Structure 1
Amino acid sequence: MVSERPEHPDVALVIAFLNTLDVEEGTDALHSAESWQDWAADRGLTPGPLTGARSTRAALRSAAGDPDSTPREASAAIEVRVNADGPVFTTTSATGAVLSAAARLSVLGLWDRVKICPADDCRWAFYDQSRNHSRTWCSMQSCGNREKARAWRERAAAEAN
């Protein structure tokens, strides 16, 4: 997995939320109410129910292309208010903040750049910054290289038989 520093704050929040599940390390920040509260507090957010966070993450991971996720829906209470800077989403929960960020990315045409690494032992969420939106792996140096080498070995073995 690659550490990225997306410039857009909505990208950073959505990617961080999706990566509360770390397949490679075998960790899940949503495994307990305490770890969920810590994750939300670290970002200045109010956690809300753990079950809602898990549902929201599963729905967003599915929407981002996680092959291990089944399509589902998630929702949160979000209001649109107008202040001196213009319209803004407001919410009282961390899941609402994440869904607001995801909605803004969608409106800006950036949601399709949020992806899940297809490597079985990775599944890291990343933001595709490539010009033509064609990036597949979280990192070509680790997951991409490993998958390409595996595919080459399978092709070479098939040709040898």
Structure 2
Amino acid sequence: MNDRAPAPGGLALIEALVNTLDIESGADSLDAPEAQARFALTPQDVPGARVLREALREACLAHAGHGTSTALDALLADAPLRVAVSPSGEAALRPSGPPTLLARVAEAVAAGAADGTWMRLKACEADDCQWAYYDRSPAARSRWCSMAVCGARAKMRTYRARRTAGAD
């Protein structure tokens, strides 16, 4: 769906995870061994990854002004992270054990929150899409993953509704 460049830094991981489900077709690539390998998942990890994915989608929709996000906070509370300080004195959150998907997502959220990019990771407002994308617009007001697809569909629906209302 998305014709945009990937999100920066660790947010690319989150964007890719959210986009493993194509809502329009119902195809879930987390069932494929390639996707499981990409996210370092075992088949037993997939149900938890799906819960995490949908909590992230909810947060991305909230960033776009569509609802609120509560599930992600509870999930990230269990992320094993520690503060790491580099030799130059820079501090960052890092996984405190094996780099699980949850720990990597929590690290990416923390880094994105710190540098101001987290709130620009959004989900398309089209109900049949909800694809994650990184909003690079100057005012951070993008509404659709693709103006050519979802934006055009929304504008055509609005146009037809106005025309129908005018004909009555």
User: Shorter-chain TM-score category?
Assistant: 0.7 to 0.9
Question: What per-residue deviation string (whole Å, max 9, x for no partner) do you get for residues 66-110 of structure 1?
Answer: 769974131222222234364341252022112211221122121
Partner of 1:84: 87
The residue identity in structure 2 corresponding to 1:100 is: E
After superposition, the Cα gap between the structure-2 partners of 1:52 and 1:84, relative to the gap in structure 1 and judged at 3 Å, is farther
Following the alignment from structure 1 to structure 2, what is the Cα–Cα distance between the partners of residues 29 and 15?
14
Q: Is the 8 A contact 1:40 1:94 kept in 2?
A: no
5+ long unaligned stretches in structure 2: none
Q: Is the 8 A contact 2:6 2:133 kept in 1?
A: no
1:21-32 counterparts in 2 under 5 A? 21-30=21-30, 32=31
After superposition, the Cα gap between the structure-2 partners of 1:39 and 1:69, relative to the gap in structure 1 and judged at 3 Å, is farther
Deviates further, 94-103 or 1-10: 1-10
Following superposition, the deviation at residue 136 of structure 1 comes to 0.4
Instruction: Report the count of equivalent residues.
Output: 156
Q: Secondary structure, in 3 states, of the residue corresponding to 2:154?
A: helix
**2:59 is equivalent to residue 63 of structure 1:** yes
Q: Is the 8 A contact 1:52 1:95 kept in 2?
A: no
Give 4+ residue runs of structure 1 displaced > 6 Å after superposition: none
The residue identity in structure 1 corresponding to 2:47 is: T
**2:124 is equivalent to residue 114 of structure 1:** no
Question: What per-residue deviation string (whole Å, max 9, x for no partner) do you get for residues 43-69 of structure 1?
Answer: 5x4557333312221211111117699
Following the alignment from structure 1 to structure 2, what is the Cα–Cα distance between the partners of residues 10 and 87?
16
Question: What per-residue deviation string (whole Å, max 9, x for no partner) do you get for residues 111-157 of structure 1?
Answer: 22111111122111100000000110101111101110111101111
Following the alignment from structure 1 to structure 2, what is the Cα–Cα distance between the partners of residues 42 and 3?
21
Following the alignment from structure 1 to structure 2, what is the Cα–Cα distance between the partners of residues 71 and 158?
38
Following the alignment from structure 1 to structure 2, what is the Cα–Cα distance between the partners of residues 107 and 87?
11
Higher percent of residues as helix: 2
Q: Is the 8 A contact 1:21 1:28 kept in 2?
A: yes
CA root-mean-square deviation: 2.6
**2:108 is equivalent to residue 101 of structure 1:** yes
Q: Is the 8 A contact 1:61 1:69 kept in 2?
A: no
Following the alignment from structure 1 to structure 2, what is the Cα–Cα distance between the partners of residues 68 and 120?
13
Q: TM-score, normalised by structure 1?
A: 0.82
Following the alignment from structure 1 to structure 2, what is the Cα–Cα distance between the partners of residues 71 and 7?
23
Following the alignment from structure 2 to structure 1, what is the Cα–Cα distance between the partners of residues 106 and 3?
22
Partner of 2:38: 42
Q: TM-score, normalised by structure 2?
A: 0.79
Partner of 1:148: 155
